[in-house]
Amino acid sequence: SAVISQKPSRDICQRGTSLTIQCQVDSQVTMMFWYRQQPGQSLTLIATANQGSEATYESGFVIDKFPISRPNLTFSTLTVSNMSPEDSSIYLCSVGDRLNYGYTFGSGTRLTVV
């Protein structure tokens, strides 16, 4: 399965600032996904990052708040903009596994907004 390097692993940020999270995959993948996992909760899809086109956002998530870049088939970034304490969460990137159809997840970014 793919190996994903995600960074930073954690950060504490001031409200009103922005944080960019990076995911690097060791192989080319068609689509990358960004999830949010609030404490004790399930995984909620934020958007699908498509190479060469704009990301596709799920209901409740907008590009101005969560801009995504996908410059090539092995890399993507998610920015959490104008942060508020409600954005405190774990953010995970993931990719599809061609062999098994399952997802492989990055190690996650634990974000705390103060």
Partner 1 sequence: GENVEQHPSTLSVQEGDSAVIKCTYSDSASNYFPWYKQELGKRPQLIIDIRSNVGEKKDQRIAVTLNKTAKHFSLHITETQPEDSAVYFCAATATNRRNTGNQFYFGTGTSLTVIP
* Rg from Cα positions in the chain: 13
Q: Binders of partner 1 among 35-64, rule CB under 8 A?
A: 41-43, 45, 48
Work out whether 23 is an interface residue with partner 1 (CB under 8 A).
no
- The number of beta carbons lying within 10 Å of the beta carbon of residue 101 is 7
Q: Residue 105 interacts with partner 1 (CB under 8 A)?
A: yes
- For 106, the token pair is 């990055």
> Which lies closer to partner 1 via its Cβ, residue 38 or residue 82?
38
Write out the binding residues for partner 1, residues 81-100 only, by CB under 8 A: 92, 95-98, 100
How would you class 17 by CB atoms within 10 Å of its CB: exposed for 0-12, middle for 13-18, buried for 19 or more?
exposed
Can you give the binding site for partner 1, defined by CB under 8 A? 1, 29-33, 41-43, 45, 48, 92, 95-98, 100-108
